[in-house]
A and B are shown apart, each in its own frame.
Chain A
Amino acid sequence: MTALRRLAPLILGVIFLLGWEGTVRLLAIPAFVLPPPSAVVVALLADPQTLGLSLWFTLTVTLQAFALAVAGGVALAILFTRSPLLASALYPYAVILQVTPVMAIAPIVLVWVGYERVDLAQLILAWIVAFFPILGNTTLGLRSADAGLRDLFRLYGASKWQVLWRLELPSALPYLLAGMKISGGLALIGTVVAEFVAGSGTGQGLAWRIVDASNRLNTPRMFAALSLLSLLGIAIFALLSLIQRLALRRWHDSEAGRP
């Protein structure tokens, strides 16, 4: 039963791909409208070097933005919880940055950094969207440290640094890890959006491959690049889930005791 449940998504995927392949062949749908999965695989294998480099490029920009978002979000959350004044002054602007659609900011950022620096625009936009879940979750986590433990630390005359390091940061860890899972996906979206909006110029990532293939009506190649983007998103999510699991499984109810 458990084996079947684990295999269920895989089986469904295979059925879907076979159905897709069969339908396209049966109805003789042109490849530029909807290529069969086999054509996508062919397109993928036809030019592995370009697509591989694009994958690598998208991956590095996404990870850089993600790392900066985690570092900046945690640092700002620590500042926010130290200084309520700073928190109330800055928080509304952090929210504005978050609720403004990244698609709408992208052209402005591109104008500022210049179309010859699409990679920098990607980094900035990916950081903007990935940053907020880290800030919000970590702030919540730092504040949710147990009141009894706070009393205990006070009883023993703990310094602010000791309270932060030994009590507040460990308390915030489950929240931070949950925020990282959201941010990882958002960073990829930000990276892709910047390249789409740039349209041309110096884009080298997978999003540019999609735009480029679209301009040439090479739909199988569009699907090939798209599938690589999906795989990248899945890999980021899986990796962060694994980190969450390893970090929390011994002590946190969300992960402990799971099969």
Chain B
Amino acid sequence: MGQGAAPFLELQGVTKRYPNGTLALSDISLAVAEGEFVAIVGASGCGKSTILRHVAGLIAPSAGRIRWSAPPAAGGIGMVFQEPTLMPWARIQDNVRLPLDLAKVPRAEADARVSALLAQVGLADFAQAYPRELSGGMKMRASIARALVTRPRLLLMDEPFAALDEITRQKLNDDLLALWRDQRFTAMFVTHSVYEGVYLAGRAIVMAPRPGRIHADLALDLPYPRDEALRTDARYATACRQVSHALAEAMRAEGAAA
């Protein structure tokens, strides 16, 4: 980043105050480079999700603005929510095809992309299944497939694996990194888990609560590709300690700011 080129995405002094007076975000400034994997780490209620919702364009800031090197086209942003958020009445393949259907992509082309992506996330055999017939981890895979089906330049993830068991979660972390390497999208990943954030990201944004603000912006110099071996690597332990320390500081700073 830097070197004069405009960043892929930049939040400039983004502030969000709700009509009831609650200050959800205070003066968030954050630049994200193309292809970066950024983790946003913080406790519940510190505005992590609110940042993503601003970037997705689902809510507008009360002050400040969001600048793009090139404004995203329709389908240029994919989003994975805390819940799988699948349509229960639609088969998995129809759920994953939804963004293409909404953009009126021809059916044959859409179907080809859906089956390729379902194979990539390991759901090829479940294309015809309904969401209720799938496990929590599989539903999340379908949700990720749907977010990637438009080949977005930016993938927003809002604590996608928080509800999953540890083993499923680690498997999905590895699969997500593989998809990121393969498709080269920019990723913003919200989590309350320091270990998950450090395992995935090249950079950790540590948030402080009430009002939500950035407490620290830490580069995580751990090499990619990453795998299970990283979890026992001393550098991983150091990075986790560094982020945990910043998070603890951020929580203490709450009293000072209020």
Contacts and interface: CB of A to CB of B under 8 A. Distances in A.
Chain B, interface SS category: loop
B257 interface: no
Chain A, interface SS category: helix
A148 B150 CA distance: 19
Contacts of A250: 130
A155 B88 contact: no
Contact of A149 (B56, B85, B132): B85
B212 interface: no
Given A148-B81, A152-B79, A157-B74, A252 B88 contact: yes
A238 to B, nearest CB: 24
Given A148-B85, A156-B99, A251 B56 contact: no
A166 B95 CA distance: 11
A251 B83 contact: no
Given A151-B58, A253-B132, A170 B87 contact: yes
Determine which residue in A149, A154, A156, A251 has the highest number of CB atoms from chain B within 10 A of its CB, and name it: A156
A161 to B, nearest CB: 11
B103 interface: yes
Contacts of B88: 251-252
Contact of A156 (B83, B89, B103, B131): B103
B130 A251 contact: yes
Contacts of B85: 146, 148-149, 151-152
Interface string B120-134: 000000000011100
A247 B77 CA distance: 34
B102 A173 contact: no
A16 to B, nearest CB: 41
A252 B58 CA distance: 29
B79 A155 contact: yes
Contacts of A155: 56-58, 77, 79
A256 B132 contact: yes
Contact of B102 (A156, A170, A256): A156
B188 to A, nearest CB: 14
Interface string B62-87: 00000000000011010101010101
A158 interface: yes
A211 interface: no
Contact of A151 (B74, B81, B99, B103): B81
B99 to A, nearest CB: 5
A253 B89 CA distance: 11
Interface string B95-137: 0001101110000000000000000000000000011100000
Given A151-B56, A155-B56, A156-B74, 16 more contacts: A146-B85, A148-B81, A149-B87, A151-B79, A155-B58, A155-B77, A155-B79, A156-B98, A156-B150, A157-B74, A157-B102, A162-B102, A166-B87, A170-B89, A252-B88, A253-B132
20 contacts: A148-B85, A151-B56, A152-B81, A152-B85, A152-B98, A155-B58, A155-B77, A156-B98, A158-B102, A162-B102, A166-B101, A166-B102, A170-B89, A170-B90, A173-B89, A251-B89, A251-B90, A251-B132, A252-B88, A253-B132
